[in-house]
Amino acid sequence: MTTHDSMSCDVLVLGAGMAGLSAAGYAAEHGATVIVLERAKSIGGSALLSGGILWTATSRERMQLYGTGIPGLGDVVLRNYARGLEWLRRRGVAISPAVPVLHGRGYQIDILDHLRGCKNLVEQHGGHVALDTESRELLRNDNGAVTGARICHADGVIDVHAAATILATGGYQNSSELRAQHIHPNARDKLLLRTNPMSRGDGMRLAGFNRAFLGIETPVEESLKEAQKGQNLRHDLLESVKKIQSYGIEVMAGFIVGFDNDPDDIFDRMINFIKDSAIPLAMVGLLTALPNTQLWRRLNSEGRLLGESGGSNTHSDLNFVTRMDSARLVEGYKSILRSIYDTREYYDRALECLRRVSQTGFKSQRGTSFLNDLSALTRITLKLGVRDQDRWEFWRYLTQTLAHNRGAFADSMRLAAMGYHFRKLTETYCE
Ligand SMILES: Cc1cc2nc3c(=O)[nH]c(=O)nc-3n(C[C@H](O)[C@H](O)[C@H](O)COP(=O)(O)OP(=O)(O)OC[C@H]3O[C@@H](n4cnc5c(N)ncnc54)[C@H](O)[C@@H]3O)c2cc1C
């Protein structure tokens, strides 16, 4: 085994652009020893090309006008935007008066001053910002948790160990392969680019980005309109899932039943959609009204709220008066779970998913320990291939994987274990 020089720190940041240096400076100011590694010969990334307008949408609703994204992360931005501005002001970074930007508001800041200030904070607190340094791979412990990165620097190959590692290597605009995969095949060579040459999607590659969670909610158009999920109406949902899978990305998804517009055959339509889309890990829940959401306000004004939500949308409690008979809704919901997590049905979906994603795309990242892999395989085989009452289905699944898709063996075992977990949960919910 080759050994490399090594060093350690509290926080390792890959990428010295807007996100990386801001995080590094803030962590250093709060007492962390930080190492920042930058691939280019200078700091700044795309941030240096930017207009330096620090802006955000002014409400959750306005932020959702931008379509995709994780609402919880949007909330973090909304909650902390003022604190971020305050941090810049406290450090003496020049900030313009407020200006309107698209659906929000922003301030032009002296971006170079901010980035240099963050670099100084890192160095003043005993850390380093190293330029012209390539991050080759992430280091992981036996459980697969990231513990740093192996980097290539003028001094040689160095293992940097860290309690926390932040991937802030920017976008992928300068990778024709990733543009074709994630935007459109024509985006490979027919886009006018306005980007930093280092934006090559290194962070996605290092992290082994090969799974995506989609909030599909429902295959019913009227219910999507009711849920204000306009982004899910722009393209055919089944085709979109297939396209993502064809790029080597496994799709997991969330589904909901209980909308006012759900038709009588919603349960069969949901089951068929999940089967046709070959989404093994489909998380189906009953619609729940959470306080102060648009749904909650509407149901409140219609006098249909029954009480506070327990916070779980997989239990069979309804906290509002449904259009469909509630007993029928709950029974139909359970019939979906029983059907999609039926052992044969699940394994068939997993096989089809693996067939679709294996045609191209990234290889999965796994733990680095052979012993750990062997122990996981033994436990899965004992549980599913020996003790489980549906063990013959497991052996059929395993045989088909080895016969037709040997390269996906590790992922097939992962999916088998996760499917078992969902089957057991289904048994609990459907008791
Ligand atoms: C022309 C232009 C104008 C813009 N104007 C605005 C604006 O006015 N307001 C606004 O909010 N946004 C604007 N943006 C977008 C904004 O610049 C980006 O959203 C922001 O810089 C993203 O920050 P980041 O840290 O994720 O990426 P970046 O700022 O690009 O930083 C990523 C850094 O990671 C480095 N890197 C890449 N790979 C590796 C690796 N393997 N190892 C180590 N380092 C690596 C890169 O060299 C880079 O320095 C603009 C963008 C452009 C191109």
Å from CA of 27 to ligand 1 middle: 19
CA of 17 to the centre of ligand 1 (A): 5
The answer to which of 82-96, 240-254, 362-376 has the lowest mean pLDDT is 362-376
Q: How far is the CA of 28 from the centre of ligand 1 (A)?
A: 21
Tell me the CA–centroid distance for residue 37 and ligand 1, in Å. Answer: 15
Higher pLDDT, 98 or 311: 98
Right CATH number for 210-287+322-431 from 3.30.750.200, 3.30.1360.30, 3.65.10.10, 3.30.43.10? 3.30.750.200
Inform me whether the pLDDT recorded for 265 exceeds 90: yes
* Complete edge-to-edge strand list for the sheet that includes strand 99-101: 53-57, 104-108, 99-101
Instruction: Determine the distance separating the centroid of ligand 1 and the alpha carbon of 49, expressed in angstroms.
Output: 8
Q: What pLDDT shows up at residue 144?
A: 78
Percent of the chain whose pLDDT exceeds 90: 66
- What is the reported pTM? 0.67
The predicted structure's pLDDT at residue 242: 92
Q: Highest-confidence range of 121-130, 172-181, 245-254, 366-375, by mean pLDDT?
A: 121-130
Does the C-beta of 201 come closer than 6 Å to ligand 1?
no
Least confident of 27-36, 46-55, 229-238, 308-317: 308-317
Place of tokens 């886009």: 191
With bands split at pLDDT 50, 70 and 90, how would you rate the model's confidence at 226? very high
Residues 6+ apart with CB under 8 A from 171: 46, 195, 199, 201
Question: What pLDDT does 177 receive?
Answer: 76
User: What distance in Å separates the CA atoms of residue 258 and residue 266, rounded to the nearest whole number?
Assistant: 9
Ligand 1 centroid–CA 134 distance in Å is 17
Q: Please indicate whether residue 194, judged by its CB atom, sits closer than 6 Å to ligand 1.
A: yes
Nearest CA to ligand 1 atom 20: 47
pLDDT band at 310 (very low <50, low <70, confident <90, very high): low
Under CATH, domain 5-171 is a member of which superfamily? FAD/NAD(P)-binding domain (3.50.50.60)
* pLDDT value of position 62: 85
Please give the Cα distance from 146 to 201 (Å, whole number). Answer: 18
Q: List pLDDT tens digits, range 146-201.
A: 999 999 888 889 999 999 999 999 999 998 878 877 777 788 887 888 888 999 99
8 A C-beta contact, residue 78 and residue 50: no
Q: How far is the CA of 231 from the centre of ligand 1 (A)?
A: 26
Question: In a 3-state reduction of DSSP, which class is residue 142?
Answer: coil
Question: pLDDT value at position 362?
Answer: 45
Is 5 in contact with 155 (CB distance < 8 Å)?
yes
Residue whose CA is closest, atom 17 of ligand 1? 47
Nearest CA to ligand 1 atom 13: 50
Q: Which amino acid is at 239?
A: E
Work out the angle at residue 304's Cα, subtended by the Cα atoms of residues 227 and 270, and round it to the nearest 5 degrees. Answer: 40
How many CA atoms within 13 Å lie on the side-chain side of 240? Answer: 16
Q: 13, 14, 18: which to mutate for ligand 1, most atoms within 8 A of CB?
A: 18
Query: Which of the listed residues 46, 54, 165 should we mutate to test ligand 1's pocket, taking the one with most ligand atoms within 8 A of CB?
Result: 46
170 CB less than 6 Å from ligand 1?
yes
Q: Which atom of ligand 1 is nearest to the CA of 45?
A: 49
313-330 pLDDT, tens digit per residue, is 556 678 899 999 999 999
Which tens digits make up the pLDDT trace of 334-363? 999 999 999 999 999 999 999 999 876 445
Q: Is 18 in the pocket of ligand 1 (CB under 6 A)?
A: yes
CA distances from 126 to 123, 152, 279 (A): 5, 21, 48
Give the Cβ contact number of residue 394 at 10 Å.
21
The domain segmentation of the chain, as residue ranges, is: 5-171, 172-200, 210-287+322-431
